[in-house]
């Protein structure tokens, strides 16, 4: 089909406001000069114009302009354009026909193909809610990205899609892991403040409720939590810090705040168990290797547990691999030999420094003792 590209662009220029008219004219100029790279760069910015995000205007742009030279656009850039265009199709049948054609066009480029499938997944998640299809899409994209070198331009979008799917399904453990990967691929500066806050809140709540999450250091160190500072949700950061430190008293002090959150309130028993196990972990961590024999009374004091429940919670900590140790039921003592490694905050790093200083002093004492006794041994 022959298209009057210049006629289309000039008609748009005549009817647009001055700022947009200038941009339409720029597209016409670059197209007439056949400067395909510069035109692609201009288009990638142009399709994000707010005035084009309605009334199938991007579809119109594609059909009357982009389609005429799409084979001259690099596959990933082409798919970036299509990812914005496709959302203006209202009928699912039109949407998937368009994406099927896109997939054929980009099939030779793994990264662009992954973006095409991610786009299909986003539409599925928003409109179709087809869980079976979503799982297939996520598996396909994961396999594609495993075969690419390093972190690509689409890794972040894949982890965002994956985490959104897990959140919809209520799978908080996998959501937390995927969302952290998303943040690892994305600078908070590239996210709107509202999305930063949403991610921070979801991650904080899921980390507290999710099974198997006992390491809060990585999230606490992430700048995305800064978005909650000086807001009504800042208590979430304080609550995470309380869990990270195994601080049962602070957990109780913040109850008025966290009980207002429906998910946290519904999981109060789970929260109490988790903060208790973290208190046992922290207690083990803070003791030096030769001081890890503790009484049931010591554990009860730190965890606020009745003494008859101490053994049960220590057994839970051992069963979950949080600590390694032995329980002396007769002597009411616990011998702790190892604690699960975690990402440390500044206070915990300070504890490690103190322990290293003590270890160095012990080594120096042993060295001096050997020097002192060595002469007697040699003389003998």
**Are the beta carbons of 107 and 115 closer than 8 angstroms?**
no
DSSP tally for the chain: helices H, then strands E: 21, 3
Q: How many residues does the chain have?
A: 380
Half-sphere exposure of 173 (CA within 13 A, CB side): 5
Strand 333-339: give its sheet, edge to edge: 293-295, 333-339, 323-328
What per-residue confidence (pLDDT) applies to 2? Answer: 46
Pick 168 or 3 by higher pLDDT.
168
- Cross-strand partners of 338: 324
Q: Give CA–CA dist 155/158, Å, rounded.
A: 5
Question: Strand 333-339 relative to strand 293-295: parallel, antiparallel, unpaired?
Answer: antiparallel
Per-residue model confidence as pLDDT tens digits over 184-237: 998 888 899 999 999 999 999 999 999 999 999 889 999 999 999 999 999 999
Per-residue model confidence as pLDDT tens digits over 286-335: 877 667 789 999 999 999 999 999 999 999 999 999 999 999 999 999 99
**Are the beta carbons of 224 and 194 closer than 8 angstroms?**
no
3-state secondary structure of 356: helix
Under the banding of pLDDT at 50, 70 and 90, the label for residue 350 is low
Under the banding of pLDDT at 50, 70 and 90, the label for residue 365 is confident
**pTM exceeding the 0.75 threshold for the entire prediction:** yes
Under the banding of pLDDT at 50, 70 and 90, the label for residue 267 is very high
Per-residue model confidence as pLDDT tens digits over 71-127: 999 999 999 999 999 999 998 889 999 999 999 999 999 999 999 999 999 999 998
DSSP labels, 247-300: -HHHHHHTHHHHTTSHHHHHTHHHHHHHHHHHHHHHHHHHS-GGG-EEEHHHHH
């Amino acid at each position: 089909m022959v298209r009057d590209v210049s006629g289309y662009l000039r008609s748009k220029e005549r009817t647009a406001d001055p700022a947009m008219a200038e941009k339409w004219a720029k597209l016409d100029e670059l197209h007439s000069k056949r400067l395909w790279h510069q035109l692609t760069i201009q288009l990638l910015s142009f399709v994000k114009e707010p005035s084009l995000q309605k009334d199938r205007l991007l579809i119109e742009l594609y059909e009357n302009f982009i389609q005429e030279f799409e084979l001259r656009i690099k596959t990933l850039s082409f798919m970036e354009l299509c990812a914005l265009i496709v959302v203006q199709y209202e009928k699912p049948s039109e949407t998937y026909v368009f994406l099927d054609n896109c997939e054929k066009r980009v099939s030779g480029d793994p990264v662009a193909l992954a973006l095409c499938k991610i786009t299909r997944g986003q539409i599925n998640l928003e409109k179709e809610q087809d869980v079976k299809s979503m799982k297939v899409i996520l598996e396909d994209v994961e396999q594609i990205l495993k075969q690419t070198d390093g972190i690509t331009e689409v890794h972040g979008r894949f982890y965002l899609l994956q985490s959104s799917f897990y959140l919809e399904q209520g799978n908080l453990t996998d959501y937390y892991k995927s969302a952290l990967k998303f943040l690892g691929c994305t600078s908070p500066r590239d996210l709107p403040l509202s999305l930063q806050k949403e991610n921070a809140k979801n991650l904080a709540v899921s980390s507290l409720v999710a099974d198997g999450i006992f390491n809060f250091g990585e999230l606490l160190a992430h700048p995305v939590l800064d978005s909650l500072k000086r807001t009504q949700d800042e208590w979430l950061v304080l609550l995470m810090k309380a869990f990270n430190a195994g601080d049962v008293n602070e957990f109780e002090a913040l109850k008025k705040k966290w009980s207002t959150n429906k998910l946290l309130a519904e999981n109060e028993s789970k929260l109490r168990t988790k903060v208790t196990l973290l208190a046992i972990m922290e207690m083990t961590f803070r003791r030096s290797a030769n001081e890890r024999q503790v009484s049931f009374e010591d554990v009860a004091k730190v965890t606020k547990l009745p003494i008859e429940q101490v053994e049960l919670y220590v057994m839970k900590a051992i069963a979950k691999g949080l600590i390694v140790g032995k329980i002396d039921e007769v002597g009411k003592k616990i011998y702790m030999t190892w604690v699960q490694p975690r990402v440390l905050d500044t206070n915990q790093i300070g504890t490690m420094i103190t322990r290293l200083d003590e270890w160095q002093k012990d080594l120096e004492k042993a060295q001096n003792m050997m020097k002192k006794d060595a002469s007697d041994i040699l003389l003998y």
